[in-house]
Amino acid sequence: MKRIYSVISAILLIFILNGCIGNSTDLKTESDESKPIEKDIEATETVEIPEPEIIEYRTSFLGCGDNIIYGTKGARQNAVEGGRSLNYKPYYDGVSDLIENADISFINQETLMCGEGYSLSYYPMFNSPQDVGHDLVEMGFDVVNISNNHMLDKGADGLDKTIKFWKSMDTLMIGGYENAEDYDTVRYIEKNGIKIAFLSYTYATNGIVKNASSPIVIPYINDEDIIRQAAIANENADLVFVSVHWGDEGSFTPNDEQIRVAQLFADCGVDAIIGHHPHVIQPVEWIYGKNDNKTLCVYSLGNFMAQQDRDYNMVGGMISFDIVHSSVSEPHLENVIFIPTMFHFGGNFLGNNVMPFEEYTPELAAVHGVRMYYGNHMSYDTLLGYIKNTVSAEFLPDFYRENTDKSHIEQ
């Protein structure tokens, strides 16, 4: 810039001198007239401003289905010196790495854990050892849902004991509420700079009604509550996830009420719906809300672990996805994968183990406890068919995209 100003000054001086001398040309020489004026002006260089660095954060989520485990024989045999008298961790060896490695792991705990003063009980009025809860937390479950049709199996007092137990644990419990204020206090988890709200509802409690004197709130599916709580959650969190107990037991397809409530969740801005109760898997799909938002809906993850009496009760699933956010994008879900699971138990209801279905074999299917104790036929191909017939290939790992002809499979 300084060079430009020097040249302009020189030119002005020449004009001034010419004006003083007049139009006389006798002082000029031929060489003066022909000599060009040199301009020492540097070309302006273009400076490229680097694009700001985009920092992307990914938080992995793993959701697991119905956990209905109550027997003690195998867990007693698994006990280790210096540990608790019941050890359920080996039951989950096949999936423990997935649970531990996810940034946020979720499970639906189907049975109560009332603790001291309550005897253990099985179907149809469950009460499981609290050792199960300790093991789930130690394995890495960050969120535990307890709202389901069995939550009043031991009355309001039993539920109150279970709520207090889970609140004493190093995990986020949803679905159990001590009073109305607790019910409207939305639960949140913050991870990697992202804040996620968790809501929870159940369709019923098997006809059992809590006594009127108890302040405990059962989170029944209620449109007014859903709309109110979803609004609170959306205002205070980046994403909203809902756990919901609904549907018909043994049905691979959602019923009309599931579809209606799922649309309500989507219209309320919920980002992910994690469904339970049918004890079999149901479809996974994207639902669009009234504001063109997109909601992931897993209608049912099926059983994670449950000693039921049908082959289809043994097939479950884990929903896996990444929660992605960056400086240039809103938080959203990517890489949605439904990971089918298989729950195996053998003679004397021992050898309990849940594993990815990809690791299951026809040989194991041939000795499954369902065949031994309930006389039910169990075919590996039929088990595989339940998965392929129910979950869209877009959500399944590559293993299930092979041999897609399933016309010979009967459900």
Tokens 């969190």 identify what position?
Answer: 237
Indicate if the alpha-carbon torsion angle 369, 373, 379, 384 is positive or negative. negative
- Cβ atoms of 331 and 325 within 8 Å: the answer is yes
User: Which ranges of the chain have pLDDT less than 50?
Assistant: 1-37, 39, 41, 404-411
Please count the other Cβ atoms lying within 10 Å of the Cβ belonging to residue 41: 11
Tell me the backbone φ, ψ of residue 79, rounded to 5 degrees: -60, 140
Measured CA to CA, the distance from residue 135 to residue 117 in angstroms comes to 21
Rounded to 5 degrees, φ, ψ at 292 are: 65, 15
* CATH code that applies to domain 58-401: 3.60.21.10
What ranges do the domains of the chain cover?
58-401
| Distance between CA atoms of residues 108 and 66, nearest Å | 5
Any idea which residue has 């392929």 for tokens? 388
Report whether 281 contacts 300 (CB < 8 A).
yes
Q: Which residues pair with 56 in a beta bridge?
A: 326
Q: What are phi and psi of 83, to 5 degrees?
A: -105, -170
* CB neighbour list of residue 138: distance below 8 Å, 6 or more residues apart: 89
- Report the SS3 class of residue 177: strand
Residue positions counted in the chain: 411
Q: Burial, 402: exposed, middle or buried (Cβ in 10 Å; 0-12, 13-18, 19+)?
A: exposed
Q: What is the pLDDT at residue 376?
A: 83
What ranges make up the beta strands (E) of 83-127?
104-109
**Which pLDDT value is given to residue 8?**
38
d(CA 381, CA 408): 9
| Residue 219, H or E segment | none
At residue 372, what is the residue type? M
CA-nearest of 139, 61, 66 to 97 is 139
Take residue 184 and report the two structure tokens written for it. Answer: 């409207």
What is the distance between the alpha carbons of residues 226 and 234, in angstroms, rounded to a whole number? 12
CA–CA dist 226, 293 (Å, integer): 17
DSSP-derived 3-state class of residue 322: strand
First to last CA, the chain: 83
What is the structure's pLDDT at 49?
77
- Residue 196: in which H helix or E strand, if any? strand 194-202
Angle of helix 256-267 versus helix 223-236 axis, rounded to 10: 30
Is residue 127 within 8 A of residue 154, CB to CB? The reply is yes
pLDDT of residue 403: 54
pLDDT the model gives residue 43: 53
Task: Encode pLDDT of 195-213 as tens digits.
Answer: 999 999 999 999 999 999 9
Alpha carbon distance 10, 293 (integer Å): 67
- Which tokens hold the place of 287? 């639902």
Distance of CA 282 to the CA centre of its chain: 16
How many whole angstroms separate alpha carbon 298 and alpha carbon 281? 9
